[in-house]
Copies of this chain bind each other. A is one copy, B any other.
Amino acid sequence: MSLAVAATGWRLLLLLCAAGLGAVGAPQPPNILLLLMDDMGWGDLGVNGEPSRETPNLDRMAAEGMLFPNFYAASPLCSPSRAALLTGRLPIRSGFYTSNARARNAYTPQEVVGGIPDSERLLPALLKKAGYASKIVGKWYYEEFPINLKTGEANLTQLYLGEALDFIRRQRSLRRPFFLYWAVDATHAPVYASRPFLGSSQRGRYGDAVREIDDSVGRILALLRDLGLQDSTFVFFTSDNGAALISAPKQGGSNGPFLCGKETTFEGGMREPAIAWWPGHVPAGQVSRQLGSVMDLFTTSLALAGLQPPSDREIDGLNLLPVLLQGQLINRPIFYYRGNTLMAATAGQHKAHFWTWTNSWEEFQQGVDFCPGQNVSGVTTHTQEEHTALPLIFHLGRDPGERFPLSFASAEYQEALRRLGPAVQQHQATLQPGQPQLNVCNVAVMNWAPPGCEKLGKCLPPPPSAPEKCSWPH
């Protein structure tokens, strides 16, 4: 993955692009700023009902923009969800999954052999065509950074913030459009905050991390305003998957009224906080009922840049501009995959579960619980239960917590199935799964000797190659 887009040798071209656009009277396309959280839950925002109300900046962002209460990750785990954001495609299409076992969440620890295939078209590379300078700040970094596990102190969010502010200022002075992907990770266990934020929350250390991120978002938006960029910068805030309830309450967040969390395909695993902000374009104070996806950020970003999504492959992301700018609602299903398995689908207000699973009995009995305090009989199952013939269907409007399956005999069930069935069948009939990329692990591929390791005295000899099937327990 070539995400760190270097600017060298680019400046001239960008200026030419901008000049070219100017010549025909077209305005420069807007800057794009994606604020992607790590394991932050839907319920962690004050505007989504977190009782301690400690996200004044995000709440204000929502009040000045459009809130999406029905916005979804593309996977209940971080890496596939992020790969989907960057490709606009479900992991099952791009190959960012495993077939080692059914319905397993795979990701990209250092020993995995594979990732996003080179054949995929990534958002920053596509945006280059429209003259964008791109930068990722966050979840990928060069050096291990110390987090004091006892106190939770780390300065990393401040570094990420500084990088973001510097990049924005620099692009502003160069007057080039930018794509900034700000992928902070303070809300992923081990959670951390810098000293001024430690102990500042009513919610413990996790809340401290949220407060620092909230403060940082406030500073970023303030800088955009100070630089006069607020109406030429599209900002979107969301998260990669639901709160990690296995780490709650000290190191995990809140999924509000939703069922279960990260790793699961219940709403708590995949419904995300989501806010669009673009003063003067996205009307203030709006709430959209649109079913949205992180994959839409791919297509929407391209649309903002005046680009079409790649036409040689299926793209799952929608262009949300009609939603954002005209308040339209686009009819589309949401698919909930876990690895190679379509677990559930939502259309309109109804969600059908074709498979249910939390985690194995063995793990559960050892205390690994993706749904602490929650137990919906026959739904939060510890064995993989198939319901493809007669899916469990919930009405997410009346029952966002997925506690009350519709009666199979009810007219509502029959009608929901009539609407969901064809959408799912069409999806499955036309789906061409990519080659699974996350099947093989090999400690030899770990980053033993990264570039620059000599200077740091940290080069290690790689061990002999020992490829094996990765073990994906969830």
Q: A: which residues have CB within 8 A of B? A: 43, 46-53, 67, 69-70, 201-204, 206-207, 248-250, 254, 256-257, 259, 287, 289, 349, 372-376, 395-404
Contacts and interface: CB of A to CB of B under 8 A. Distances in A.
Contacts of A50: 49
Given A49-B48, A49-B49, A53-B287, A397 B204 contact: yes
A373 B399 CA distance: 11
Contacts of A207: 397-398
Contacts of A257: 43, 49, 51, 254, 256-257
Counting from the closest, the 3 A-B pairs by CB-CB distance are A49-B49, A373-B403, A202-B397
A41 to B, nearest CB: 10
B51 A398 contact: no
B397 A201 contact: yes
Given A52-B69, A52-B397, A249-B399, 15 more contacts: A46-B287, A49-B49, A49-B50, A51-B396, A51-B400, A53-B67, A53-B69, A201-B397, A206-B398, A207-B398, A248-B399, A254-B257, A256-B256, A372-B404, A373-B374
Main secondary structure of the interface of A (DSSP, over half): loop
Nearest to A375: B375
Contact of A398 (B43, B69, B249): B249
Contacts of A289: 52, 202
A87 B286 CA distance: 41
Contacts of A397: 51-52, 201-204, 207
Q: Which of A47, A67, A256, A349 has the most chain B CB atoms inside 10 A of its CB? A: A256
A370 to B, nearest CB: 13
A381 to B, nearest CB: 13
A437 B401 CA distance: 39
A239 B396 CA distance: 24
A207 B396 CA distance: 12
A444 to B, nearest CB: 41
Contacts of A259: 373
Contacts of A53: 67, 69, 287
Contacts of A49: 43, 47-50, 256-257
